[in-house]
């Protein structure tokens, strides 16, 4: 079985993330969406909330070969432990590539048996990031075109509450 890991903070998951995950699910037998917990970041949603939102969003796209997990360790260690052959990352722009290329080289040096696969996001999602979603929502802006409809209300409640 060809297993891939699609790591990210997913704080919150966006339609851009869903695009990359959906496309990866067609390339691999199984994809693990990995909520990577980074102690240096101050997330808006707990890991459990992010997992719940991702599962809701995935149930709507019917990706039966995708599961969600969480880790607070090195991605390379996680990939090795689950026996994955690839790390899937989405790219929006050249600036994403510079950072992700560096991470790919680090992961490759830590675990030689996994490749990093870059998927370019669909044109309609090129501008989209979790940070942008949080910023727009915190000012009461419309994020309905940025996140899966099934989690829109959850995101708005949390992010609008932080602005008050």
- Catalytic residue positions? 17, 41, 92, 130
DSSP string, 103-150: HHHHHHHH-TT-EEEEEEPPGGGTT--HHHHHHHHHTT---TTTS-HH
Structure tokens at 11: 């704080």
Tell me the backbone φ, ψ of residue 91, rounded to 5 degrees.
Answer: -120, 135
Strand ranges of the sheet holding 30-36, from the earlier edge strand across to the other edge: 66-71, 30-36, 3-8, 86-91, 115-120
Separation between Cα atoms, residue 164 and residue 157, nearest integer Å? 11
């Amino acid at each position: 079985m060809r297993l891939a890991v699609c790591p990210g903070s997913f704080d919150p998951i966006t339609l851009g993330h869903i695009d990359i995950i959906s496309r990866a699910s067609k390339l691999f037998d199984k994809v693990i969406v990995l909520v990577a917990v980074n102690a240096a970041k101050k997330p808006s949603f707990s890991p459990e909330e992010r997992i719940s939102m991702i599962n809701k969003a995935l149930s709507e796209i019917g990706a039966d070969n995708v599961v969600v997990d969480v880790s607070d360790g090195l991605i390379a260690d996680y990939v090795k432990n689950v026996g994955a052959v690839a790390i899937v990352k989405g790219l929006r722009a050249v600036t994403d590539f510079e950072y992700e290329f560096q991470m790919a080289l680090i992961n490759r040096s830590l675990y030689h048996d996994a490749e990093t696969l870059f998927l370019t996001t669909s044109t309609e999602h090129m501008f989209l990031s979790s940070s942008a979603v949080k910023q727009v929502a915190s000012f009461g802006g419309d994020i309905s075109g940025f996140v899966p409809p099934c989690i829109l209300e959850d995101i708005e409640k949390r992010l609008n509450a932080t602005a008050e």
